[in-house]
Amino acid sequence: MKMYIVTLALSLLASCAGSDSSKNPLPDAPGMQGGVDARKVTLPTWMLEDIQPQSPRVGQTYGLQTFSGKIVVVTLLEGF
């Protein structure tokens, strides 16, 4: 049991050791040098059907373009 705790402690210490990314910075994606230019990033396109029975848009399919010019908050939920 004592050996297990020592091994676990050493593993945790090793995983907490950071790397010095200033020596060899990795690009965000293949072919990228440095960071991402936010002006060139486009929003993802998606379409969803409104299935809420009390909604005035029930049965309609719409996406982000429907809310153009408005603040959009997207919540991602997962149940276990």
Residues 56-79: pLDDT tens digits?
A: 889 999 888 888 888 888 888 888
Write down the residue that tokens 């059907």 correspond to.
Answer: 49
Task: In whole angstroms, give the CA distance from residue 49 to residue 68.
Answer: 18
pLDDT at 26: 56
The C-alpha atoms of residue 57 and residue 59 are separated, in whole angstroms, by 6
Average predicted confidence (pLDDT) for the chain: 75
pLDDT for residue 32 is more than 60? no
Q: Is the pLDDT of residue 54 over 90?
A: yes
Higher-confidence residue: 43 or 79? 79
% of the chain with per-residue pLDDT over 70: 61
